[in-house]
Structure 1
Amino acid sequence: MASSFSFFFLMLLPLAVISAVTPCPPSQRAALLAFKAALTEPYLGIFNTWNTTDCCASWYGIACDPTTGHVTDVNLRGESQDPMFQKLGLSGYMTGKISPEICTLSNLTSLVVADWKAISGEIPACVTSLSSLRLLDLAGNRIAGEIPTEIGNMRSLSVVSLADNEISGEIPTSIVNLRRLMHLDLSNNQVSGEIPYDFGKLRMLSRALLSGNQLTGSIPKSISRMKRLADLDVSLNRLTGSIPAELGKMKVLSTLKLDGNSMTGPVPSTLLRNTGMGILNLSRNGFSGTIPDVFGAGSYFMVLDLSFNNFSGRIPASLSASKFMGHLDLSNNHLCGAIPIGSSFEHIDAASFSNNDCLCGNPLKAC
């Protein structure tokens, strides 16, 4: 019995070896060469390896399914730890455009063409046909145009990074159909319009980085239903309205950056009471009212920045009971009265309390 099994296993070995070296189909090689032809990389020579008949064998940045030979990964990153980059002491620079030919690689699971600084053109609309794509990273280029409206068809996507480009237009409403999406980075573009009202349908999302755009409207209340969201950054936009109190009840949310908008109203006490909140930046808005006196021994802020608003009244005495206060900035408001005494304030300098109406006490002048 054992000898029969051994014979059967040995018979399979040649098949395994053959399947492990299955070359890529000629059509896929042709698609990659068309993709390469639309790009120019003058310094590192990463495309010099793209000169053999088999694109699955030692082509830089290309990986294939070992059984079928179909291309599964295009991974070209201009900021890389690759020895080729380190030896020359250069970061990547590439011009040209992303050819629609890339869309013929129907088995792609990752498409990374990031940090090349000068790739322009638009995102090919046909990428929405890549139903197996899990990672789309085109950050750090000069890509313009709009996000494809049918991006919601790409149901396998878990990471979308388009940061640091020149992308315009609105966030497509179909994006809420990406139910596996965990990381979304659209920061530092020219994206306009409102955040989709049903953005909260992205229940798997843990990071939503939308800063440095031209977004308008208010923060959708539906975001509070995102149970995995840990990092929400919508700073440096044109958002208005108030902070939904529901955000303060999110158990996983630990970083909230709303700075540099035109938001108004009071700060919900739920937000400051949330002991999981570690970085809260509400600076440079039009928030008003008193700062809720709801801090306690569970409060642990690496950053609490409420500067450049219209807060009035006293600094909450309960702030002194905080477990930790790394960076505190209450400057440029209308606060008045004595600065609380406590270990949380011992390392805070005068600049953090400057330009208020009538604050006094250490580190400012005595009351």
Structure 2
Amino acid sequence: MGTSLLIAAAVFVLAVGTAVNGCPPSDRAALMAFKAALHEPYLGIFKSWTGNDCCNKWYGVSCDPITKRVADINLRGESEDPIFQKAHRTGYMNGSISPAICKLDRLSSVIIADWKGISGIIPPCISSLPFLRILDLIGNQISGQIPYNIGKLSRLTVLNIADNKITGRMPRNAIEGNIPDVFGPSSYFMMMDLSYNNLKGAIPKSIASASYIGHLDLSHNHLCGAIPAGSWFDHLEAASFVNNDCLCGKPLKSC
């Protein structure tokens, strides 16, 4: 092989190596658009979002080690991270969740929790993220309805929207009105938190037939009637059911 050909091959290998060592420009652009819709004045967590490689020490961002695609966004307003300790306070962030987040189509978890000032709606396109397992938006001022097609996220195991201003209905559950009696052996929940809403009526008996329920919180609603009996309810404490109109049965008082 001639010298020029060797050099060309080396340059090609170097270029390929560089490409897989950093996140794609499209992922970086999506994160920057996501950042532009938010304002965090105290902690400076976005100061680390510099450079071309969003997989390299960008606060709250994690990437798949092989594909270098952004896999996780983990931004919490309450944390033991040194950046919070240095500021001597919990976080405060305002703004909204940009639809640009949906361009990160390899996202596995989105945690934007306990910031108190994030408002706006859940972008409807969030239901187009096929690998999403965790969506945790607790403790904000998010309003509007849960995207209708969120029920199509077959990998979603954690949906936490408590302590927001969500209204309307969602597939699988009713934020207002009765909880549909539609659960069965194919229902699987690592966490189902519907606390602080306006749910009414009884807890459907079919929920006890779910294949797995890790955590359930129906507190602070207007539910009434007997709590279904089932193995998935044995580990739940009274806190999961308190502050309803007239729920009864284990772990509350007997009916």
Q: TM-score, normalised on structure 1?
A: 0.59
Q: Once the two structures are superposed, what CA deviation does each residue of 1:300-323 show, in whole Å capped at 9, x if it has no partner?
A: xxxxxxxxxxxxxxxxxxxxxxxx
Contact 1:231–1:253 at 8 Å: present in 2 too?
no
Partner Cα distance (2:214, 2:33) in 1: 40
The alignment's C-alpha RMSD in Å is 2.7
Change (3 A) 1:94 1:198: same
Paired residue type of 2:105 = S
Other-structure match for 2:100: 101
**Equivalent in the alignment of 1:193:** 177
Within a 5 Å distance, the mapping from 1:115-154 to structure 2 comes to 115-154=114-153
Taking the aligned partners of 2:190 and 2:38, their CA distance within structure 1 comes to: 33
Flag as ranges the 4+ runs of structure 1 deviating above 6 A. Answer: none
Q: Following TM superposition, by how much is the alpha carbon of 1:76 offset from its aligned partner in structure 2, in angstroms?
A: 1.0
Q: Which amino acid aligns with 2:166?
A: I
**1:36 CA drift (Å):** 0.5
Q: CA deviation at 1:230?
A: 5.8
2:226 aligns to what SS in structure 1?
A: coil
SS across alignment from 1:95? strand
Contact 1:212 / 1:235 at 8 angstroms: preserved in 2? yes
Structure 1: how far apart are the matches of 2:214 and 2:47? 42
> Structure 2, unaligned stretches of length 5 or more?
1-12
* Residue in structure 2 matching 1:251, options 209, 213, 231: 231
Q: Distance in 2 between matches of 1:44 and 1:260?
A: 35
Structure with higher Rg: it is 1
2:212 to 196, 210, 228: 228
Report the CA distance between 1:231 and its aligned residue. Answer: 4.8
SS of structure 2 residue aligned to 1:108: coil
Residues 198-277 of structure 1: pairs in structure 2 closer than 5 A: 198-200=182-184, 203-205=187-189, 207-229=191-213, 231-240=215-224, 242-243=225-226, 247-248=228-229, 250-254=230-234, 255=236, 257-263=240-246
Q: Paired residue for 1:281?
A: 252
Deviation at 1:156, TM superposition (A): 1.1
Distance 1:114 1:232, change over 3 A: closer
* TM-score (normalizing by structure 2): 0.83
Does the 8 A contact of 2:198 with 2:222 survive in 1? Answer: yes
What percentage of aligned pairs have identical amino acids?
48
Check the 8 A contact 1:44/1:92 in 2, yes or no.
yes
Q: Is the 8 Å Cα contact of residues 184 and 211 (structure 2) preserved in structure 1? A: no
CA contact (8 A) 1:61 1:74 kept: yes
Match for residue 183 of structure 1? Answer: none
Higher relative contact order (CA closer than 8 Å, sequence separation 6+): 2
